[in-house]
Chain A
């Protein structure tokens, strides 16, 4: 210690004489002064840390521990600077008229919760008159210096507990801390989400990333299945499990994959069957709907205005059928004289005794209008066999109703058993011969008018 000091003195005495010794002496002074300097700074540090608070505050067990050692985090509060509501450092402290301190936001939350009294002694408190900002305490707390809880990880922030709290969410060293704190429960299957405990990000993550987790689970499951795969089938014959296993060591995943593919194919096949069935059902429905639509397109008999245009297709076949049995007869579609009028239809048949002659009768039908109509029916019936090429040749007959004819009385069955018309309406050979039957189609038009 002596020598360097002498050198320094020499240097000071002869600053310009020799440059090199001055350099060496300056290094030695640096060595020399450092311990002193360190000593002073350490005392000043201890002054700042340990001396100032004890001067202003009575040392508290928690407080002393947290301040001098720095091992404890901001969670250890000084009981006098603790808010009884959040049990944490007073943030923007307020003082009540009954002498208790709380965080400003804590107390206002409490008072808003329909509690108009002090949480500590139940004295009535009015939010307007009994609460005052406690700036003295706020400054006292600001004086307290804490290390950031992440200081073991390298964070060098030293601030008041409130500031440290505020600093924590943005602390550059927080990530490691967070990882320690709150991993996703699916971390074991390689979900690398990490949330911070003071946020509900993890909760959100669990809600929103479910598909991702499902995928991870599937992967994990597949890997597990591959890992635990035992080639049972090939070993059946050999008996020596280990030998068999050795020979198949590389194969299993591929085989397993094939098996998985097979399962997928099978599942797809089943799905196709289901879909085909579904398509068939849809086709049927479509067909039925089409039928309904076609029916709906036909003129509602209610609005036929008393006219039937009866187009008989395949006339020759019909004649054969009528001739084969005297009981065979064919009815036209139904018709109304008016929407609320009489309902009737026409009938064709062949007399057994006169197979050449076609009979045509008009029958009244029961309808929902019968109850308010006048009976017997009075009107004119025009029968017309339409010639397809020459209107002049069309055969026209007109019948007037007579009240005594039973056919015009109110029908007692769906179709009145009695009809009115011609037993011998036309000779079938004439019909064909005169060309009424072009394309094997006969058209008979019946018009009924009320008189």
Chain B
């Protein structure tokens, strides 16, 4: 790996470790291997959002051309958000693509992602299904996002109704995550979800 990328990541690592946010436990970063090419980030769900109380783990891959090209970041923790793929965790965020600047750091990236959780951009979606729900059935979206935060990121809100519907599908032999994904997609309409699964 290029010298510049390694030495910069090392310095950034220190920067994150010294930062205020780490004291507040709102962002975290750790090494995955010794080559400094892959890191694991963690952000706390911002307050007053459906993600509050959740911890979201991110995969960060540092290209050799860093910092001249952005790091490759995706969510490992599953999340229900218009700009994040509910399937792959891929993120639609301008600074991770065309609007990347060499002056940005891992810390600013993590903070930007936190900001993205607080302010979704449904008009520039990564996950069209989620974006549609966000715009058309916002209440349902909030519930789904909270439910996913609870299921995958350790969030506090539970929805017995959702759980029972998932259990119904699980009883039919569907994997829990598949059941949750289909139900979320079908706005928690159990009949439609069943139809979708078995047609």
Contact = CB atoms under 8 A, between A and B. Distances in A.
Interface of A: 75, 84-88, 106, 109-110, 113, 115, 117-120, 122, 197-200
Nearest to A185: B34
Interface string B150-183: 0000000000000000000000000000000000
A119 B6 CA distance: 19
Contacts of A106: 102
Contact of A198 (B3, B12, B14): B3
Given A110-B68, A113-B68, A113-B69, A88 B7 contact: yes
Given A110-B102, A119-B101, A198-B7, A87 B68 contact: no
Contacts of B192: none
A119 B68 CA distance: 9
Interface in B1-41: 1, 3-4, 6-8, 11-12, 14-15
A150 B104 CA distance: 31
Contact of A84 (B7, B69, B103): B103
B17 to A, nearest CB: 12
Given A113-B69, A120-B101, A120-B103, A86 B14 contact: no
Interface in B59-110: 65, 67-69, 99, 101-105
Contact of A87 (B3, B15, B65, B69): B15
Interface of B: 1, 3-4, 6-8, 11-12, 14-15, 65, 67-69, 99, 101-105
Given A75-B14, A109-B68, A113-B68, A87 B8 contact: yes
A115 B8 CA distance: 19
Given A106-B102, A110-B102, A86 B65 contact: no
A49 B60 CA distance: 41
Contacts of A118: 101
B105 A87 contact: yes
Nearest first, the 7 closest Cβ-Cβ pairs linking A and B are A84-B103, A119-B102, A119-B103, A119-B101, A85-B102, A113-B68, A87-B11
B101 A87 contact: no
A85 B65 CA distance: 12
A115 B103 CA distance: 12
A224 to B, nearest CB: 25
Nearest to A182: B34
Contacts of B7: 86, 88, 198
21 contacts: A75-B11, A85-B8, A85-B103, A87-B11, A87-B12, A87-B15, A87-B105, A88-B11, A106-B102, A110-B68, A115-B68, A115-B101, A115-B102, A119-B102, A120-B101, A120-B103, A122-B99, A197-B6, A198-B3, A199-B3, A200-B1
A115 B104 CA distance: 14
Nearest to B98: A115
A119 B105 CA distance: 11
A164 to B, nearest CB: 14
A132 B74 CA distance: 38
Contact of A86 (B4, B15, B69, B104): B4
A84 B102 contact: yes
Nearest to B67: A85
B11 to A, nearest CB: 4
A88 to B, nearest CB: 7
A232 to B, nearest CB: 41
Nearest to A107: B102
A67 B14 CA distance: 19
Contacts of A122: 99, 101
A120 B101 CA distance: 7
A115 B12 CA distance: 22
A88 B12 CA distance: 10
A86 B65 CA distance: 12
A113 B103 contact: no
